[in-house]
Chains A and B, each alone.
Chain A
Amino acid sequence: MSAPADMGAHSGADSASSFARLARGTMARSLGLVLLGGVVLFLASEALDSYNDLQLASGAYYFVALAGLTVLTGLSGQISLGHGALMAVGAYTVALLVGNEQWALVPALAAAVVVSSLVGIAVGAAASRLRGPYLAGATLAFAIGLPALAEEYPGTFGGANGLVIEPPTPPSWLGASFPLERWEAWIAGAGALVVVFLMSNLAHSGVGRSFRAVRDDEIAASLCGLHVGRVQTLAFVVSAACAGLGGGLLAVVLQLAAPGAFELGLSLALLTAIVLGGLGSLLGAIWGAAVLVLLPGWTNDLAHSFSLSTKVSANLPLAIYGFVLIVGILIWPTGIQGALRRIMGLVRRSPQGGSRELDKHSTSGSGGAST
């Protein structure tokens, strides 16, 4: 179950024929994953009440953004503290097109992907010159700088209040009583499934391999004829496209695109979620999305189940979040997915397949290279 979505697993396809077989296998496996995911999502959305359907929808749009970030950081070894801002690009695109121009949902989401990809080209081209903490600093500045535009041009972007869009209407054949939240969960879930299919294929394709080659050794990769800067920019564009789609879905689910939702905290939460979930794997992105969606609710309930002073109960959820981050990383250095894989005994200690190995390499670009 975990193996197909593991984007780090290398496949020794040397001859052309075995490569073709592998490509077909990958495609079939991705389709299988999507079908399975679709069935699970459908059953879950039917079983859950509307509050939990909304959480499912939130999990789905977070997953979309996280899948992009884990491609960037896990596969190509670049760090980004600015993905919250790329989500904002997608969200505002959808809000402007659906709200002002009355576009249909799917073309608006596609436009969000295009626009955020274009921004991703610019950011990625700049990012490909930077390493480790300098890249972190530049993307951090991007994360805090971009939302300021919304307040600078209130006429277009609605200032601090943001842009409100109409809720999506479930089609009539689903019945008049079909809950809106379930429809939103379906929309966001469909987006997530598209991303699963594309990213899972990408990771096993030549492009994914070139990402990993650049991550592991830039000089060796360029000796093999790869244009390192171009590969890194492409990784950034792919990841920005996912972030844009995630942001667009967020705008649809929340029916709002406002600067408050895309502050630095979101970018940092995305980064912590992929590392805590398990870097470089789509399953890790699922765990990360689950943490982002479920943890605040649980900790809030916990904080209010004791009779504590408001000072303490107001801050307890945050304290637990910080504590979980620290302890989680200390006891599972390879994230939840890495820990699960070890528990299930699925780690083969081959020089290429070990999850620990993958993690070490995947992060070497975010600090080691600049020393």
Chain B
Amino acid sequence: MTRFIDLTLNGISTGAVYAAVALALVLIWRATRIVNFAQGGMLMVTTFIASSVIGSSGSYWLGFVVALASGLVLGALVELTLIRRVEGGPPLNAVIVALGLLILLEAGAGMIWGNTPKSFPPAFSIRGYEVGGTRLLFSPNDTFTVLVVIAVAAGLAALFRYTALGLKMRAAALAPEVARMLGVRVGRMFTLGWALAAFVGSLAGLLVAPSVFVGPNQFDPILVFGFTAAVLGGLDSPPGAVVGGLILGLVLSYVSGYEGSSLVTLAALVVLVAVLMIRPGGLFSTSKERRV
């Protein structure tokens, strides 16, 4: 029973990270209809920046803030310099540009920081809570991870639902021409969408780095599972991203705990195919009809 609770708690905290990455992918998909395969590279770079800042200043929270800020800047920069040129073109071209950027960022990070993964400090203690004499696989740092992801998801939901800016962003994504006629700076909304996504992504990087370490390729599985979670939930739906992340986190945790870690990727495939066969647009897909 303890094992089950441990695996559940572990699933929730890893699921929260997948949810954050999925949220970042959903934000970009909603804004520009592009699956951002470079997300893993972008959050890797910001986490390396955090690592350098923490190393030289000694302050975790300074590194944390700098990483989030650099996420915002990097996201906007990528949209303005690269993505703007492939937006509205063949979707595959955008995919290839994103893949190219992922490779370029990973190679660049290897040149600057080296290819050997480095440890990364957690925000809070990673010693599990003690309940009735047994130590749980859930630490104050895991609590922080879950709470931060909930806060970000709620913040994004509030932004899109209750603010004028959120309304403009939705309008720019859903009906760019109409939005432009009504005075929305559509291009700026796209840039903002990418910046926000990279912000959320860099947060995911900071949260997961203590357990996977920081290295050019350390975040590849996070990107793959984050994408799987986003597809599971439905790429148009932020709540779907969170639910998808949690489902995936829990399933993978149970499978790796009870059956062994080599089956994890296979389990992800089974879950994804099972869900997509019933709901081809993900769990939270809204529109049934396809446009001609």
Among B95, B106, B264, max chain A CB count under 10 A is at: B95
Using C-beta atoms within 8 Å of the partner chain, give the interface range for chain B: 35 or more
Among A137, A324, A371, max chain B CB count under 10 A is at: A137
Task: Contacts A137-B227, A275-B95, A326-B82 known; list 5 others, CB within 8 Å.
Answer: A130-B276, A141-B228, A141-B268, A311-B115, A367-B91
Closest residue of A by beta carbon distance from B90: A363
In-complex Cβ contact of B269 among A73, A141, A370 (8 A): A141
10 CB contacts below 8 A, A to B, read A79-B92, A134-B280, A138-B276, A140-B227, A141-B272, A322-B107, A329-B97, A330-B86, A363-B93, A368-B33
* Contact between A268 and B99, CB atoms less than 8 A apart: yes
* Contact between B111 and A311, CB atoms less than 8 A apart: yes
A149 at the interface (CB under 8 A from B): yes
Give CA–CA (A322, B96) in the complex, Å.
9
* Chain A residues with CB under 8 A of B108: 315, 319
In-complex Cβ contact of B104 among A219, A271, A326, A333 (8 A): A326
* Chain A residues with CB under 8 A of B220: 264
In-complex Cβ contact of B273 among A141, A323, A366 (8 A): A141
Closest residue of A by beta carbon distance from B93: A329
* Contact between A134 and B107, CB atoms less than 8 A apart: no
* Chain A residues with CB under 8 A of B89: 333
A191 at the interface (CB under 8 A from B): no
* Contact between B92 and A275, CB atoms less than 8 A apart: yes
Give CA–CA (A157, B147) in the complex, Å.
43
A145 at the interface (CB under 8 A from B): yes
* Contact between A314 and B280, CB atoms less than 8 A apart: no
* Chain A residues with CB under 8 A of B216: 315
* Contact between A148 and B103, CB atoms less than 8 A apart: no
The 6 closest A-B pairs by CB, nearest first: A325-B100, A367-B91, A322-B104, A137-B231, A145-B269, A322-B103
Q: Chain A's nearest CB lies how many Å from the CB of B86? A: 7
B77 at the interface (CB under 8 A from A): no
Give CA–CA (A326, B104) in the complex, Å.
9
* Contact between A329 and B100, CB atoms less than 8 A apart: yes
A304 at the interface (CB under 8 A from B): no
- How many residues does chain A have at the interface if contact means C-beta atoms less than 8 Å apart? 59
* Contact between A363 and B224, CB atoms less than 8 A apart: no
Given the known inter-chain contacts A368-B91, A370-B281, please indicate yes or no for A152 contacting B103, CB distance below 8 A. Answer: no
Closest residue of A by beta carbon distance from B281: A134
* Contact between B96 and A325, CB atoms less than 8 A apart: yes
Give CA–CA (A355, B27) in the complex, Å.
32
A24 at the interface (CB under 8 A from B): no
Closest residue of A by beta carbon distance from B270: A145
Q: Chain B's nearest CB lies how many Å from the CB of A345? A: 23
Give CA–CA (A264, B268) in the complex, Å.
14
* Contact between B115 and A314, CB atoms less than 8 A apart: yes
Given the known inter-chain contacts A138-B273, A271-B96, A329-B86, please indicate yes or no for A370 contacting B290, CB distance below 8 A. Answer: yes
Give CA–CA (A147, B96) in the complex, Å.
23
* Chain A residues with CB under 8 A of B273: 126, 138, 141
Give CA–CA (A148, B269) in the complex, Å.
11
* Chain B residues with CB under 8 A of A152: 262-263, 266
* Contact between B231 and A323, CB atoms less than 8 A apart: no
* Chain A residues with CB under 8 A of B92: 73, 79, 271, 275, 279, 363, 366-367
* Contact between B276 and A144, CB atoms less than 8 A apart: no
Give CA–CA (A136, B29) in the complex, Å.
13
Question: What is the interface of chain A mostly: helix, strand, loop, or mixed?
Answer: helix
* Chain B residues with CB under 8 A of A314: 110, 115
* Contact between B276 and A129, CB atoms less than 8 A apart: yes
B265 at the interface (CB under 8 A from A): yes
A369 at the interface (CB under 8 A from B): yes
In chain A between 55 and 108, which residues have their CB closer than 8 angstroms to a CB of chain B?
Answer: 73, 79
* Contact between B90 and A359, CB atoms less than 8 A apart: yes
Q: Chain A's nearest CB lies how many Å from the CB of B179? A: 15
* Chain A residues with CB under 8 A of B264: 148
Given the known inter-chain contacts A152-B266, A318-B106, A329-B93, please indicate yes or no for A133 contacting B100, CB distance below 8 A. Answer: no
Q: Chain B's nearest CB lies how many Å from the CB of A258? A: 15
In chain B between 216 and 264, which residues have their CB closer than 8 angstroms to a CB of chain A?
Answer: 216, 220, 224, 227-228, 230-231, 235, 262-264
* Contact between B115 and A315, CB atoms less than 8 A apart: yes
Give CA–CA (A148, B268) in the complex, Å.
11
B277 at the interface (CB under 8 A from A): yes
A276 at the interface (CB under 8 A from B): yes
* Contact between A145 and B268, CB atoms less than 8 A apart: yes
* Contact between B96 and A144, CB atoms less than 8 A apart: no
* Contact between B93 and A137, CB atoms less than 8 A apart: no
* Contact between B224 and A144, CB atoms less than 8 A apart: yes
In chain A between 313 and 348, which residues have their CB closer than 8 angstroms to a CB of chain B?
Answer: 314-316, 318-319, 321-326, 329-330, 333
* Contact between B265 and A145, CB atoms less than 8 A apart: yes
Give CA–CA (A131, B234) in the complex, Å.
12
Give CA–CA (A329, B115) in the complex, Å.
28
* Chain B residues with CB under 8 A of A208: none
Give CA–CA (A312, B113) in the complex, Å.
10
* Contact between B228 and A140, CB atoms less than 8 A apart: yes
* Chain A residues with CB under 8 A of B270: 145
B282 at the interface (CB under 8 A from A): yes
Given the known inter-chain contacts A129-B276, A138-B276, please indicate yes or no for A275 contacting B265, CB distance below 8 A. Answer: no
Closest residue of B by beta carbon distance from A82: B269
Q: Chain B's nearest CB lies how many Å from the CB of A308? A: 9
Give CA–CA (A321, B235) in the complex, Å.
29
Give CA–CA (A367, B95) in the complex, Å.
10
* Chain B residues with CB under 8 A of A138: 231, 272-273, 276
Q: Chain A's nearest CB lies how many Å from the CB of B241? A: 13
Give CA–CA (A146, B29) in the complex, Å.
27
Q: Chain B's nearest CB lies how many Å from the CB of A316? A: 7
A162 at the interface (CB under 8 A from B): no
Closest residue of B by beta carbon distance from A325: B100
Q: Chain B's nearest CB lies how many Å from the CB of A78? A: 11
Q: Chain B's nearest CB lies how many Å from the CB of A304? A: 15
B155 at the interface (CB under 8 A from A): no
* Contact between A330 and B269, CB atoms less than 8 A apart: no
* Chain B residues with CB under 8 A of A366: 91-92, 95
